[in-house]
């Protein structure tokens, strides 16, 4: 049948079983929005307050559901406003397809109104970027974009379509989406045998779980492995939920703000089994001293990650879940009672602690976990609140912790929460932000209100840029250069002005009633929680230091007394 390019775009979305898109219209993409109008009963469009919000919403939708997130934007500034969200998805391997419309083909390269080479701009932060200037290539390009976004190591793909292509007509016929198979052809028998031998010989094994384990859906296999070989388990920020935070073998996050048990345990182990993690500098600290006592076995779908940041002793390339399934059949049950007892002693000796005499971020997170029983999707922005959310909320399932790990994008969380809620409307969704982050994209509260969905926004309001201030306290001799937010911004009034319910929380005894009241409402609610500006995140490993140099407030006090 003969369809316009705009109609072909919509039909291709329907082919891919896309039910929700996030975006913001403009002149160049008007044909697509007109076609979308005619299919509003099949594809739901969420109008965000800003294109960046649309890209984060598509990202959050993808992380929460495992499906491809889709966002739309017009040419020029509409397209460039997607860039931060696309880079966020790229750094965390999130499957997103961004569809933009450009000026007509005759106007390209002429500095036309709202013209920009968006395909060129995003080239370093996408798996692939396309510009479609010929309608005969449109449908196949879109199909290819979805395949690339989903296959192997997922990631964002951008398709830019000139306006004249969206208006032209061409023959369209329905095609089933290409099957996405797990990466198994790279799994070599000899690599599996080496891995099995290393596991069998280890006396002090440790498992480190990364975001690839979530993407692979390997939770069941990781649990089986940990219990079969009696190995403690730590995770990265992106790996949260791949192994239950309530399991006795779980020791907490690894790295700069990881637990002392995880940081010291990895330093002491004799085998580190790394599942879908890329050895970020925030995890390893000084890469030259990382896990120096251990042999390292890395399992990852992306061969480029092997020996990139940390040299490993052996590796298996392939889908994490499939590798573990094969490996589990090859290894015997192992018991390491002395090692497990040592780890449990460290967990008892080095628990996460905070000041219980005043309202703090950790107290709010613990109350949220207690009230929701851990059955919620938590999104965050970036900073102290993000680390507290990783430390004090126990994630039992994958795809329940959405955060910008690689890029560290302030302003990410609210858009992601909206995307998650649209993708999984049955789940309680909570975004946790600092006041510095909330300022960046708080206009998306208006989007949340328009969606008519229950959503809780918690603002950890300390009137400073908390994590940067913490570094200024520890490493810059208390020189608080431009990190104090001493203005009259009232988040309660602003949120109410956008149509949301909002409450201020200033005391510990107000936290539980406020959270329960908010979660009982079938609409967006903002809790403006005032906490002290000098609260810090501990434990901490200084940037570039070794993991065994991890310290907490107690260590700082002891050091001050000994000086």
User: How much is the average pLDDT of 79-105?
Assistant: 98
Helix (H) or strand (E) holding 422: helix 413-423
Q: Is the pLDDT of residue 308 over 90?
A: yes
Portion of the chain with pLDDT greater than 90, in percent: 97
Cβ atoms < 10 Å from Cβ of 461:
25
Contact between 297 and 192 (Cβ < 8 Å)? no
pLDDT tens-digit map of 140-154: 999 999 999 999 999
Catalytic residue among 14, 105, 114, 501: 114
User: How much is the average pLDDT of 166-181?
Assistant: 95
Residue bearing tokens 């951008």: 158
Catalytic residue among 17, 113, 341, 557: 113
pLDDT of res. 560: 65
Q: For residues 475 and 1, what is the distance between their CA atoms, to the nearest angstrom?
A: 66
Whether the model pTM is above 0.85: yes
Domains of the chain, start order:
2-171 (3.40.50.970), 189-349 (3.40.50.1220), 361-530 (3.40.50.970)
Find the Cα–Cα–Cα–Cα dihedral 132, 136, 141, 142, rounded to 10°.
Answer: 100
Query: Does 556 participate in catalysis according to the annotation?
Result: no
Neighbour-count burial for 259-295, b at 16+ CB within 10 Å, e otherwise: bbbbbbbbbbbbbbbbbbbbbbebbbbbbeebbeebb
Q: Is the pLDDT of residue 355 over 80?
A: yes
pLDDT of res. 558: 80
* 563 — pLDDT class (breaks 50, 70, 90): very low
pLDDT tens-digit map of 552-562: 888 887 876 65
Query: Does 393 participate in catalysis according to the annotation?
Result: no
Q: Is the pLDDT of residue 83 over 90?
A: yes
pLDDT of res. 562: 57
Q: Is the pLDDT of residue 305 over 50?
A: yes
Q: Which tokens is 559 given?
A: 């050091």
Catalytic residue among 253, 467, 498, 540: 467
pLDDT tens-digit map of 240-286: 999 999 999 999 999 999 999 999 999 999 999 999 999 999 999 99
Mean pLDDT, the chain, integer: 97
Query: Does 538 participate in catalysis according to the annotation?
Result: no
Contact between 243 and 233 (Cβ < 8 Å)? yes
Neighbour-count burial for 426-453, b at 16+ CB within 10 Å, e otherwise: ebbbbbbbbbbbbbbbbbbbbbbbbbeb
User: How much is the average pLDDT of 504-512?
Assistant: 98
β-pairing, 128-132 vs 69-73, is unpaired
Catalytic residue among 7, 11, 16, 51: 51
pLDDT of res. 408: 97
pLDDT tens-digit map of 13-56: 999 999 999 999 999 999 999 999 999 999 999 999 999 999 99
Cβ atoms < 10 Å from Cβ of 477:
7
Query: Does 386 participate in catalysis according to the annotation?
Result: no
Query: Does 91 participate in catalysis according to the annotation?
Result: no
pLDDT of res. 561: 61
pLDDT tens-digit map of 203-254: 999 999 999 999 999 999 999 999 999 999 999 999 999 999 999 999 999 9
174 CB-contact burial (10 Å; exposed 0-12 / middle 13-18 / buried 19+): exposed
User: How much is the average pLDDT of 466-479?
Assistant: 95
């Amino acid at each position: 049948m003969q369809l316009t390019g705009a109609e072909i775009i919509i039909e291709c979305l329907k082919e891919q079983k896309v039910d929700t898109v996030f975006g913001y219209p403009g002149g160049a993409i008007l044909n697509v929005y007109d076609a979308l109008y005619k299919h509003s009963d099949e594809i739901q469009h969420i109008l965000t307050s800003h294109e960046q919000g649309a890209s984060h919403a598509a990202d959050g939708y993808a992380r929460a559901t495992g499906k491809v997130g889709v966002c739309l934007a017009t040419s020029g500034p509409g397209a460039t406003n997607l860039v931060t969200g696309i880079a966020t998805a790229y750094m965390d391997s999130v499957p997103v397809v961004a569809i933009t419309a450009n000026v007509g083909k005759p106007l390209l390269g002429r500095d036309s109104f709202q013209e920009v080479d968006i395909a060129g701009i995003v080239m370093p932060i996408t798996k692939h970027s396309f510009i479609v200037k010929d309608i005969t290539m449109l449908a196949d390009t879109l199909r290819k974009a979805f395949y690339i976004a989903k296959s192997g190591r997922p990631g964002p793909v951008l398709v830019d379509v000139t306006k004249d292509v969206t208006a032209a007509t061409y023959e369209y016929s329905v095609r089933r989406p290409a099957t996405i198979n797990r990466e198994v052809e790279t799994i070599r028998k000899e690599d599996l045998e080496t891995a099995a031998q290393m596991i069998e010989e280890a006396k002090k094994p440790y498992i480190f779980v990364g975001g690839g384990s979530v993407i692979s859906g390997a939770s069941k296999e990781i649990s089986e492995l940990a219990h079969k070989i009696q190995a403690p388990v730590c995770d990265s920020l992106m790996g949260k939920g791949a192994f239950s935070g309530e399991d006795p073998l779980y020791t907490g996050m690894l790295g700069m703000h990881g637990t002392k048990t995880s940081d010291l345990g990895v330093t002491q182990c004799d085998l580190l089994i790394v599942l879908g993690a890329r050895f970020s500098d925030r995890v390893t600290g000084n890469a030259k001293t990382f896990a120096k006592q251990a042999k390292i076995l890395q399992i990852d779908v992306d061969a480029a990650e092997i020996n990139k940041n940390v040299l490993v002793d052996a590796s298996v390339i392939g889908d994490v879940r499939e590798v573990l399934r094969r490996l589990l059949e090859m290894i015997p049950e192992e018991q390491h009672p002395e090692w497990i007892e040592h780890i449990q002693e460290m967990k008892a000796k080095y628990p996460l602690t905070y000041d219980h005499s005043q309202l703090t971020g950790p107290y709010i997170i613990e109350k949220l976990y207690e009230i929701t029983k851990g059955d919620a999707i938590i999104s965050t922005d970036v900073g102290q609140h993000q680390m507290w959310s990783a430390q004090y909320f126990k994630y039992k399932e994958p795809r329940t912790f959405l955060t910008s790990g690689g890029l560290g994008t302030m302003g990410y969380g609210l858009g992601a929460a909206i995307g998650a809620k649209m993708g999984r409307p049955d789940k309680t969704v909570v975004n946790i932000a600092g006041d510095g982050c909330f300022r960046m994209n708080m206009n998306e509260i208006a989007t949340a209100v328009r969606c008519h969905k229950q959503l809780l926004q918690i603002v950890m309001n300390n009137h400073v840029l908390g994590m940067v201030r913490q570094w200024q306290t520890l490493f810059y001799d208390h020189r608080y250069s431009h990190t104090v937010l001493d203005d009259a911004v009232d988040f309660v009034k602003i949120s109410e002005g956008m149509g949301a319910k909002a409450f201020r929380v200033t005391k510990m005894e107000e936290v539980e009633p406020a959270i329960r009241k908010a979660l009982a409402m079938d609409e967006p609610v903002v809790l403006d929680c005032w906490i002290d500006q000098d609260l810090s995140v501990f434990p901490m490993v200084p940037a570039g230091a070794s993991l065994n140099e991890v310290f907490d407030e107690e260590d700082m006090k002891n050091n001050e007394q000994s000086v």
